[in-house]
Structure 1
Amino acid sequence: MSMVQEFKQFAMRGNVVDLAVGVIIGAAFGKIVSSLVGDIVMPVLGLIIGGIDFSEMAITLKAAEGDTPAVLLGYGKFIQVTFDFVIVAFAVFMVIKAINAAKRKEEAAAVPPPPPPGPSNEEKLLTEIRDLLRK
C-alpha cells in the first residue's frame, strides 16, 4: 500500500473527519465567545467597576525609548482571555451534560427490565411441602 493511499485511508476514517469538524466549529465558537467577552461582558464589567478598560490594563516593565516600544506586562488581556476560557469551558460542559443525559435516556429505553426473579429455594421447598400435604 502506498503512502498516499494509507494517508487517504487514515484521513477518511470517521474519527478523523469528526475531529476536523469539531476543530473548525470550535475555532468559530471561540471567535464568538471572544467577541462576547471583549465587546459585551468586559465593557459592562469595566463600567460596574468604575470605567476600567481591562484590555488596556498593563504594568510597564521598561519605558519606551526613542523608536523602541515600551515593554508591558498586559495582565488586562490575560483577565479577558481567562473570561473567554471560563465561558467556553462552561458551554462545553453544558453540551457534554446534555449529550450524557440524552445517552442515559436512550440506554434506559433500550434496555428491557430484567425478568422478575423466580421463587427462592426456600419457597420451592415450601411449595412442595404444601402440595404433599394436600395429597
Structure 2
Amino acid sequence: MEKLTTAQMLEKLGFGDSAINQKGYIVGYTDKGELITWNEGEEKPGTSDDKFTLYYPWVKNDVWVIRYEFVGFEEAQHAHTEEHKTVVCHLNDDQQYRFVHGEYGHFKQMANDGISLEDLTKGKWQIEN
C-alpha cells in the first residue's frame, strides 16, 4: 500500500474512498461531497451534522493509506468510455494499469506482462475523479 502525505492523500482521495493515518483517523466524503473524519472502529458518519473538522496543522505531518472503493469491470468500462474518466485496474498491490481516456498503448505493456483479458475482467477497478 502506498503511503502518502496529507496533501497527496487529499489530492488522490476519491468520492467513495477513505484514507487512514498512522493514528487511526479516517477521512472520507459524505454523499454531499463534504470531507469528514472519524476514528477507526467507528461507523462512517452519515451526514455533515455528524462530521468532525479536519484541522490541517494537526495532520500535516501524518502518513496516510487510501482504501479505494473498487468497482467491477463493466462499471469501470462505462465510466471510461461514456464519462471520459481515468480508470485503474488493480491486479494486486504491485501491479496496476491506468487507463487515461484519449491515450493509447496500454495493452502493449499488459501483453508484455502476460496479462489477459480475463485478468482485466476479474480485476478490481478504481474510477478516478
Whether these two folds match at TM > 0.5 is no
TM-score, normalised via structure 2 length: 0.20
Q: Max radius of gyration: which structure?
A: 1
TM-score, normalised via structure 1 length: 0.19
Give the structure with the larger strand fraction. Answer: 2
